[in-house]
Amino acid sequence: MTNPLLADWNTPFGLPPFDLITDDDYAPAVNAALAEARANIADITDNPAEPTFANTVEPLELAEEKLGRILGAFYGVAGADSNPAREALQRDFAPKLSAYGSEISENKALFARVEAIWDARETLDLTDEQQRVLMLTRRGFVRSGARLEGDAAAQLRAAKSRLSVLGTEFTQNLLADEREWIMKLGPDDLDGLPEFTIVTAKAAGAEKDAGGPVVTLSRSLIVPFLQFSERRDLRQKAYEAWVARGANGGKTDNRAIAAETLNLRAQRAGLLGYGTFADYKLETEMAGSPDAVRDLLMQVWKPAKAAAEADAEVLTRMLHADGWDGPLEPWDWRFYAQKRRKVLHDLDEAELKPYLQLDRMIAAAFSCANRLFGLTFKEIEGPVYHADVRLWEVTRNGTHTAVFIGDYFARGSKRSGAWCSAMRSQQRLSGDVRPHVVNVCNFAKPETGKPALLSYDDARTLFHEFGHALHQMLSDVTYESISGTSVARDFVELPSQLYEHWLEVPEVLAEFATHAETGKPMPEDLLNRMLGAATYDMGFQTVEYVASALVDLAFHDGPAPADPMQKQAEILEGLGMPHAIGMRHATPHFAHVFAGDGYSSGYYSYMWSEVMDADAFAAFEEAGDPFDTDVAKRLEETVLSSGGSVDAAALYTAFRGRLPGVAALLKGRGLDRAA
């Protein structure tokens, strides 16, 4: 029988044939695709003709086309619907793919051809896009160790291989801890919980076959439990389990993995001639250096900490008024912050949630994309990897633009968090290839027949990930290596964070924030109270984020710490971290940093991008219309369609005329008046 992954995909828009694929198909398909990729590379290096962009760089762009297609399908499933077979495949693929990557970067004949084209670039009639691809291709070879010889090359190869294995282990350990821990709730354990949280807990208990409601380590369940539960002992138990992910001892403990990862990264940077891994990683980012990152974070840290400490004093008085002695603890903050928000803004999550239906928020995101960029979304049928997954065809002026894939509900087989990926990226080199873009979230799944209700934070997450999706869908470049979100890490969050602003546009909420039972729009008074509370508790949110970013930077901007947990404690002590606030991501579950190299030395990038997104939305405000067509067109032409074809700073400057400062960020977070 033909392997469906290797056959032609005769599916709507060439989607992966998930209805035909079995887990047994992935390994032979990857092996075959690797063999084909190696043969394609050999064809390039064996070509007797003088190296040119057309006979070297362009075929290199297409060499792994089949491999990318297969891995796009596999990793999409492995992250969102894992099982033991898929986890075993991830462990098998990690060193295999790392070895292949090292083969390419160490291929002297291939690098020599690229170098020859680079040396002759001034005499070649290359387009601006081709010049950019050539520069990035050559830089990728150099930064991957193409110039290393002998023992140094072997050491780098071994380090990269081991890092790929460690990243997979870190992710799978974290998923195991999140999947296996539950806290059963008896009738007396539900005090204070609103109905929507009880419903979610019952659904989680049914999934776990627990015989009743449970709390899991899914953010969509544990956060509302910490906000509303009157049982301080249970809040403590749940919180301590949540922050202990990856640090429970035994086979799923990630602390040794983190230490080895940091050591190998430092070794890798040293082999390549850099002082630290942060120097290596930030060389290609907008920030450029660890000092620039640290400067930004510390500009935000001081006012955020001052705001958080002022809030902590108020919350501590509330704790003591309830008869509890001692300091405010991390499992108390969300509980008393929720009560205080009710007093200050007369805003209750239970009152708000019925107006934030998942389907209506999806429709809101689509409507904004239509008004800004002319995109239309039509739900379609097609092969999917899980029954909860939904598909939409995206068109513009009747022309097919993309397929959008939405996977919104939490489940035990899905890793935590929210993300956007492309199972297929836009490019024109092998035809007009349009993207397949996936948004994955972890919202609480409702009872059968009931609408899914979101928190305001959930709705922001939906808009955030859809901003990434627009970056992929509106991409308009020739070469896949610079397509969509293939940009500097501290620029990639700009489109996503910018898109969050449209959720706050009153006319959008007036149209789409409708009650799940009555269908009536959100009352104007409630809408104003919700928007008025947008920066509430921002000291807490900023401190937990910036602390994580500063720990990430310190881990990589110097010698690798022998004990990352001790180093983390020292960093937090030096910052004067408030006692009742924990890092958003402590080291053993800091997947952004340890599941792979993506955000290592780069967790700051959300804030770097926020400096730009606050300023970018101001362009619409200055035009007097959040849907101003001229500003939207300029945003698409400069930022959203260009991918990595132009330097990020140049793209932003083309849109806005200049680079922004931190003032807009502080104002947007309500921290501009903090001490």
Domain harbouring 134, CATH code: 1.20.1050
| Share in percent of the chain as helix, strand, coil (round to 5) | 60, 5, 30
CA 68 to chain centre: 20
pLDDT of residue 584 exceeding 70:
yes
Q: Looking at the structure, do residues 341 and 361 belong to the same domain, yes or no?
A: no
Q: Residue 453 in contact with residue 353, Cβ under 8 Å?
A: yes
Task: Name residue 413's amino acid.
Answer: S
Residue 550: which residues within 8 A CB-CB, separation 6 or more?
294, 297, 301, 571, 575
Q: Looking at the structure, do residues 509 and 369 belong to the same domain, yes or no?
A: yes
In three-state secondary structure terms, 476 is: coil
Q: Residue 604 in contact with residue 436, Cβ under 8 Å?
A: no
Give the percent of the chain with pLDDT over 90.
93
Choice between 194 and 672, residue whose per-residue pLDDT is larger: 194
Mean pLDDT of 263-288: 97
Token pair for 476: 């308009």
- Backbone dihedral angles phi then psi of residue 362, each to the nearest 5 degrees: -60, -45
Spatial distance between the Cα atoms of 514 and 599, rounded to a whole number of angstroms? 37
The confidence band for 382, taking pLDDT boundaries of 50, 70 and 90, is very high
Tell me if 530 is assigned to some domain: no
Residue 382: which residues within 8 A CB-CB, separation 6 or more?
11, 12, 13, 15, 391, 403
CA-atom Rg of the chain in angstroms = 25
Phi-psi bin for 420: left (phi > 0), alpha (psi -120 to 50), beta?
A: beta
What pLDDT sits at residue 665? Answer: 87
Give catalytic residue positions.
465
Tell me if 264 is assigned to some domain: no
Mean pLDDT of 289-296: 96
Q: Looking at the structure, do residues 335 and 459 belong to the same domain, yes or no?
A: no
Mean pLDDT score of the chain, rounded to an integer? 95
pLDDT digits (tens, 9 = 90+) for 43-67: 999 999 999 999 999 999 999 999 9
Token pair for 632: 């939207």
Domain stop point among 499, 522, 545: 522
Q: Residue 182 in contact with residue 215, Cβ under 8 Å?
A: yes
DSSP β-bridge partners for residue 183 = 215
Spatial distance between the Cα atoms of 642 and 152, rounded to a whole number of angstroms? 37
- Backbone dihedral angles phi then psi of residue 249, each to the nearest 5 degrees: 75, 170
Q: Looking at the structure, do residues 594 and 659 belong to the same domain, yes or no?
A: yes
For tokens 């705001």, what's the residue?
Answer: 307
Q: Looking at the structure, do residues 561 and 506 belong to the same domain, yes or no?
A: no
Q: Looking at the structure, do residues 76 and 107 belong to the same domain, yes or no?
A: yes
What pLDDT sits at residue 598? Answer: 86
- Strands 183-184 and 390-396, sheet pairing: unpaired
pLDDT digits (tens, 9 = 90+) for 604-647: 999 999 999 999 999 999 999 999 999 999 999 999 999 999 99
What pLDDT sits at residue 674? Answer: 58
Token pair for 329: 């603890």
Q: Residue 184 in contact with residue 210, Cβ under 8 Å?
A: yes
Task: Name residue 302's amino acid.
Answer: K
Mean pLDDT of 552-556: 98
Spatial distance between the Cα atoms of 294 and 289, rounded to a whole number of angstroms? 9
DSSP β-bridge partners for residue 437 = 404, 422
Q: Looking at the structure, do residues 494 and 542 belong to the same domain, yes or no?
A: no
**Within 13 Å, how many C-alpha atoms sit on residue 631's CB side?**
17
What pLDDT sits at residue 350? Answer: 85
Q: Looking at the structure, do residues 435 and 514 belong to the same domain, yes or no?
A: yes
Q: Which helix (H) or strand (E) holds 184?
A: strand 183-184
Spatial distance between the Cα atoms of 314 and 341, rounded to a whole number of angstroms? 12
578-608 in b/e burial notation, b at 16+ Cβ within 10 A? Answer: bebbbbbbbbbbbbbbbbbbebbbbbbbbbb
Q: Looking at the structure, do residues 342 and 362 belong to the same domain, yes or no?
A: no
For tokens 């660890």, what's the residue?
Answer: 290
**Domain residue limits at 314:** 275-350+536-668
Q: For residue 657, give the CATH number of its domain.
A: 1.10.1370.10
Residue 154: which residues within 8 A CB-CB, separation 6 or more?
none
Instruction: Specify the DSSP class assigned to residue 39.
Output: H
pLDDT digits (tens, 9 = 90+) for 474-529: 999 999 999 999 999 999 999 999 999 999 999 999 999 999 999 999 999 999 99
Tell me if 600 is assigned to some domain: yes
Residue 342: which residues within 8 A CB-CB, separation 6 or more?
348
Token pair for 91: 């462990």
What pLDDT sits at residue 16? Answer: 97
pTM for this structure? 0.94
CA 559 to chain centre: 27
Give the percent of the chain with pLDDT over 70.
100
Mean pLDDT of 377-390: 97
Q: Looking at the structure, do residues 132 and 49 belong to the same domain, yes or no?
A: yes
What pLDDT sits at residue 72? Answer: 96
Beta-carbon neighbour count of residue 114 at 10 Å? 23
Q: Looking at the structure, do residues 379 and 310 belong to the same domain, yes or no?
A: no
Tell me if 43 is assigned to some domain: yes
Token pair for 289: 């250096």
pLDDT of residue 675 exceeding 60:
no
What pLDDT sits at residue 664? Answer: 83
Q: For residue 411, give the CATH number of its domain.
A: 1.10.1370.40
Domain stop point among 195, 228, 244: 244
Tell me if 158 is assigned to some domain: no
In three-state secondary structure terms, 581 is: coil
What pLDDT sits at residue 31? Answer: 97
What pLDDT sits at residue 347? Answer: 87
The number of residues making up the chain comes to: 675
Q: Residue 482 in contact with residue 57, Cβ under 8 Å?
A: no
Spatial distance between the Cα atoms of 275 and 265, rounded to a whole number of angstroms? 11
| 49 burial type by CB count under 10 A (0-12 exposed, 13-18 middle, 19+ buried) | exposed
Tell me if 249 is assigned to some domain: no
pLDDT of residue 242 exceeding 50:
yes
Within the chain, what is the greatest distance between any pair of CA atoms?
Answer: 83
Domain stop point among 203, 226, 244: 244
pLDDT digits (tens, 9 = 90+) for 132-179: 999 999 999 999 999 999 999 999 999 999 999 999 999 999 999 999
pLDDT of residue 673 exceeding 80:
no
Q: Residue 438 in contact with residue 191, Cβ under 8 Å?
A: no
Number of domains in the chain: 4
What pLDDT sits at residue 75? Answer: 96
Tell me if 674 is assigned to some domain: no
**Within 13 Å, how many C-alpha atoms sit on residue 401's CB side?**
24
The confidence band for 340, taking pLDDT boundaries of 50, 70 and 90, is very high
Of 11, 2, 5, give the one whose Cα is nearest residue 31: 5
Strand order in the sheet with 375-380: 375-380, 390-396, 399-409, 436-443, 419-424
Q: Looking at the structure, do residues 386 and 312 belong to the same domain, yes or no?
A: no
DSSP β-bridge partners for residue 380 = 391
305-315 in b/e burial notation, b at 16+ Cβ within 10 A? Answer: bbbbbebbeeb
What pLDDT sits at residue 661? Answer: 86
Spatial distance between the Cα atoms of 74 and 357, rounded to a whole number of angstroms? 31
Instruction: Specify the DSSP class assigned to residue 265.
Output: H
Spatial distance between the Cα atoms of 568 and 548, rounded to a whole number of angstroms? 9
Q: Which helix (H) or strand (E) holds 396?
A: strand 390-396
For tokens 């132009």, what's the residue?
Answer: 646
Mean pLDDT of 394-400: 97
Q: Residue 83 in contact with residue 68, Cβ under 8 Å?
A: no
Tell me if 435 is assigned to some domain: yes
Task: Name residue 193's amino acid.
Answer: L
Spatial distance between the Cα atoms of 95 and 85, rounded to a whole number of angstroms? 17
What pLDDT sits at residue 464? Answer: 98
DSSP β-bridge partners for residue 443 = 409
